Structure 1
Amino acid sequence: MKLKEISEVIIRKATKSDAKSLIDYLDIIGGESDFLTFGPGQFGRSVEQEEEFIQSVLTKENALFIVAEVEGKLVGNLNFSGGPRQRNAHVGEFGVSVLRECWGNGIGEKLIQYLIAWSKDSGIIRKINLRVRSDNTRGICLYKKLGFKEEGIAKRDFLIHDRFYDSIIMGLPID
């Protein structure tokens, strides 16, 4: 799929009714990329647990869970969680993913732009962090394009098929 072929991408907050679709989606993407923190069959939540997770995000002022849909099909998601205490509630980390069939259409970028706008409007979030595998050049280029800066390296952060990978820690100040 190319963006010009996609009639419309809808970015919206996740709801409890998305739980089953999200579980199905996560089972697919776990096998599509080694850049995620889980592989095929490793996500490890039931539909009920996913419903509870979504509900818990909806109750927090410094958390966001959004999905991307194309023609009613879930094709991407982004989850952001701010710190649990007053001293770190202003900062959080996110993860983002898009179905492989939709890569290159700007969907991940739209999800992150939504997060940045939401953070600015929140009055709470002052910094967004992420970790990206050091060999994920497409991801790193996207994050830099959106203003994220490299802040450090986490050595041996991923272990996939008995091989270690480093992660680059990146951040974006909001104010």
Structure 2
Amino acid sequence: MTGTDAVITLERLNHSHVPGITALYHEPVVARQTLQMPFPSSETWQKRVETDNERVVQLVALHQGTVIGSITLEQFPRIRRSHAGSFGMGVASQWQGKGVGSKLLAAVLDIADNWMILRRVELSVYADNEAAISLYRKFGFETEGLFRDYAVRDGVYVDTLSMARLRRMPKCD
């Protein structure tokens, strides 16, 4: 069972997910679309789990107990930027295009909007990652700029887009 028929649950990242999230980012297709180095150690993820910071929300998507995606939303710590945050995400290759990214993004944007009261959510995405760009646009993100030769991927410099979603804050009566 895959895609819309599959039962996908979201949980806050915890110690029991470390082997699964390590395996997720060991996938070459997943790792090449992030700014992380390939083959992260489980110790790297263990340290991220141990981070106790209410400005950081780390979620995993699970199918039958297996980690199939993750997203991290971080509110910026500086006072003058505390109205903003950024996120990064990854979805297992066999689950891409099946709604996992939408489910993860909807969850963190709900937290950003209704719990952290973020006005601005930012991201960087490789300029050739059309599927991700389409997903972000679906959620109201707009391109703000192009960073040329921003990162190295597969031995060559690649461009990224800076995207953000701004939301109007409700007025209090």
Question: TM-score with structure 1 length normalisation?
Answer: 0.86
Structure 1 unmatched ranges of 5 or more: none
C-alpha distance in 2, partners of 1:46/1:107?
23
- Superposition deviation, residue 87 in structure 1: 1.7
The aligned amino acid for 1:160 is R
C-alpha distance in 1, partners of 2:91/2:166?
24
Is the Cα–Cα contact under 8 Å of residues 4 and 99 in structure 2 kept in the other structure? no
Between the two proteins, the alignment pairs up a number of residues equal to 167
Q: Which residue of 2 aligns with 1:122?
A: 115
- Superposition deviation, residue 37 in structure 1: 1.5
Q: Which residue of 2 aligns with 1:3?
A: 3
Residue 54, structure 1, aligned to residue 52, structure 2:
no
Equivalent positions of 1:57-72 (< 5 A) are 59-72=52-65
Structure 2 unmatched ranges of 5 or more: none
> How much is the aligned-residue C-alpha RMSD, in angstroms?
1.8
Residue 21, structure 1, aligned to residue 20, structure 2:
yes
C-alpha distance in 1, partners of 2:156/2:69?
27
Q: Secondary structure at the match of 1:104?
A: coil
User: Which of 126, 132, 136 does residue 129 from structure 2 map onto?
Assistant: 136
Deviation digits for residues 89-139 of structure 1, max 9, x if unmatched? Answer: 221211111111111111001100001101111144221100111111111
Q: Secondary structure at the match of 1:119?
A: helix
C-alpha distance in 1, partners of 2:117/2:47?
24
Deviation digits for residues 71-102 of structure 1, max 9, x if unmatched? Answer: 11110000111212222222121111111111
C-alpha distance in 2, partners of 1:106/1:69?
12
- Superposition deviation, residue 160 in structure 1: 1.9
C-alpha distance in 2, partners of 1:123/1:81?
10
Q: Secondary structure at the match of 2:140?
A: coil
Q: Secondary structure at the match of 2:81?
A: coil
The aligned amino acid for 2:16 is S
Q: Secondary structure at the match of 2:164?
A: strand
C-alpha distance in 2, partners of 1:4/1:46?
30
Q: Secondary structure at the match of 2:67?
A: strand
C-alpha distance in 2, partners of 1:113/1:120?
10
The aligned amino acid for 2:92 is L
